[in-house]
Structure 1
Amino acid sequence: MEVWLKDAGATRKLGEELAAILEPGAILILSGELGAGKTTLTQGLARGLGVTVPVTSPTFTLIQEYQGRYPLYHIDLYRLEDPEAMLDLGLEEYFAGEGITVVEWGERLEVYLPPAFLGITLEYAPGGRRALLVARGPAYERLLEELKKIVGPGG
């Protein structure tokens, strides 16, 4: 699924729309260049989950937890180069948790990615950005079908 994002507000709105249909245990793997909107999308997701504190990039702390309708686990792997070092973070506990897990720079997990997740690639496009959403697993395929009803064709 492709969604056109004209600005940061549209990116946050996509996060809010996702928050409305995500269930506990959902995993979002975000990728894209620096500044492409990964944290902005997460901020919208947090707002949609009812998180009331500011959401910032957890680049230096690696993992931040927020409380909303469901817990939000915001993980940023930008500073980690070695995929095996990521195992020390206990990511599998977050992936099996009762909250919503968002992993920025998730493509760095390579072989350690869970079998089922929603992959979101944010990229620059003329006049804005584009989000490419790919479902891995039946639950995420259903999630994308729900999202299409909300955002319409092409976003």
Structure 2
Amino acid sequence: MEFIVDNVDKTMDIGVQIGKLANSGDIICLIGDLGTGKTHITKGIAKGLGIDEHITSPTFGIVNEYNGRHKLYHFDVYRVNDPDEIEAIGFDEYIFSDAVSIIEWANYIEELIPVEHLSITIDKLPEIGENYRKITVNFNGNKYDYVKEIKI
């Protein structure tokens, strides 16, 4: 599925819809360049999960934890130089738990991502306008069929 958005509110709205539909144990992979909106999607997902805390990207801490309808683990693996680093923090214990796991820069650790996951790629569209983004949502595994309900 593809969505073209022209502002942060629409980006976050897609996240809110995903968060409202997300289930225990979901793994959501975010891919996109710096400044494309990965953290805004995450803020929306958190809001959809009923999390009222201020969401920030855990760039230096690798993972932040939040409590809502489901626990949320928010990973940022941008600064991970070797997949062994992320494994050392118990990555498998996090993503194979009952929490919803969001992984920013998931393409950096592809070999550690389970086959069954939701993937969201965000691309800038400067040829249309400065704030335009193409959000591509793909899922691997039937448990993520709920994304078919997303509308903007």
Identify the TM-score tier after normalising by the shorter chain.
over 0.9
- Displacement of 1:65: 0.2
Query: Could you tell me how far apart the structure 1 residues matched to 2:59 and 2:87 are?
Result: 17
Q: CA deviation at 1:112?
A: 1.3
1:136 corresponds to which of 111, 118, 140 = 140
Give the deviation of 1:113 after TM superposition.
1.1
List alignment gaps of at least 5 residues for structure 2.
none
Task: Give the alignment's Cα RMSD to 1 decimal.
Answer: 1.1
Shift in Å, 1:89 = 2.0
**Which residue does 2:148 correspond to in 1?**
145
1:120 and 2:120 are equivalent in the alignment:
yes
92-101 or 116-125, larger mean C-alpha shift: 92-101
Correspondence 1:79 to 2:79 = yes
Match of 1:104 in 2: 104
Amino acid at match of 1:135: F
Alpha-carbon distance, 1:97 to partner: 1.0
Partner SS, residue 40 of structure 1? helix
Shift of 1:84: 2.1
Instruction: Give TM-score, length-normalised by structure 1.
Output: 0.91
For each residue in 1:27-52, what CA deviation from the matched residue of structure 2 results, as whole angstroms up to 9, or x when unmatched?
10001000000001001111111111
Q: Which has the larger displacement, 77-86 or 30-39?
A: 77-86
Question: Unaligned regions of 5+ residues in structure 1, if any?
Answer: none
How do 1:22-41 and structure 2 match up within 5 A? 22-41=22-41
Runs of 4+ in 1 over 3 A off after TM superposition: none
Same amino acid, percent of matched pairs: 34
The two structures have a TM-score, normalised by structure 2, of 0.93
